[in-house]
Amino acid sequence: MFPGRRSLFCNGKLLDLSIPAVMGIINITTDSFFSGSRFRFGYTIAQRANQIMSEGGSIIDIGACSTRPGAKEVSEELELKRLSKALKIIRKEHPNAIISVDTYRASVAEQMVQEYGANIINDISAGKLDPRMLETVAKLKVPYILMHMQGTPQNMQQNPQYDDVVKDLFTFFTNTTQELKQMGISDIILDPGFGFGKNLEHNYTLLKNIDAFRLLEYPVLVGISRKSMIYKKLNITPNQALNGTTILNTLALQKGAAILRVHDVKEAVEAVKLTLFYQDQPNCK
């Protein structure tokens, strides 16, 4: 585990991070890179929320804008419409669930927290795509997932470059968390942003060095589920990338990941249980 706090207060609910948590994905989109994560109809949204909770998920992460490389931007009106529908359904089914809203728009974050009790804001842009986002999160007093992205979803995979990807991200997190703390945001989750302005080598270097970010004493979220760093390396499709996802999630857990963001909750929960059991075993000679 990370050496800082073992829990986060999430808009009236407590998120226990004494053991790694699993965040299940619900995309209310038509073009997310993994077709199995798209849930557009009310009954499928409810079924997916039930599945996440029944399989041991601790957080439901809802997004209404695809942020895959080259994705087209969704209007604010459509994003609000999709998220409002989903949160109404999930709050009815699971009133005590911890819900994270995946958005880079301050107005969307504000409405989802104030009207539907969203518990966490998950922002791929670290406040760079909406200048009001950080002050809005400070006012809402909810945890903030601070993700690193080089560029935008439209151009982020066009030859991303770093002097040293681990040092560059460490500097980014150090500077930005100081800024957030000065604004009154203290409940912060770090997300290295696998696949967001990183090539294959960048992604694997970051995975190998996840424990470096634990020095900042914030929980680290790892979101690598079915991503191109798995399926391109294995020459398969996202639909075939569950086994690779589980392997890399296990490596991330061994490096100190506090939250796994996944499409496949059951498998991730099992990875957490077995990794913790393995780590608790004594060394034998």
Catalytic choice (82, 214, 255, 261): 261
Closest CA to 62 of 23, 96, 19: 23
Q: In 3-state terms, what secondary structure has residue 145? A: strand
Q: Are strands 13-16 and 7-10 parallel, antiparallel or unpaired?
A: antiparallel
CA distance between the termini of the chain: 26
Tokens representing residue 51 in the block: 């599945």
> CB–CB of 119/13 below 8 Å?
yes
> Count of residues for the chain?
285
Residue 283: partners with Cβ closer than 8 Å, 6 or more residues away:
none
Tokens representing residue 204 in the block: 């694997």
Amino acid, single-letter form, for residue 278: Y
Q: How many other C-beta atoms can be found within 10 angstroms of the C-beta atom of residue 227?
A: 21
Catalytic choice (48, 214, 227, 255): 227
User: Is position 88 annotated as part of the catalytic site?
Assistant: no
> CB–CB of 165/211 below 8 Å?
no
User: Is position 85 annotated as part of the catalytic site?
Assistant: no
Tokens representing residue 154 in the block: 């439209």
Catalytic residues: 227, 261
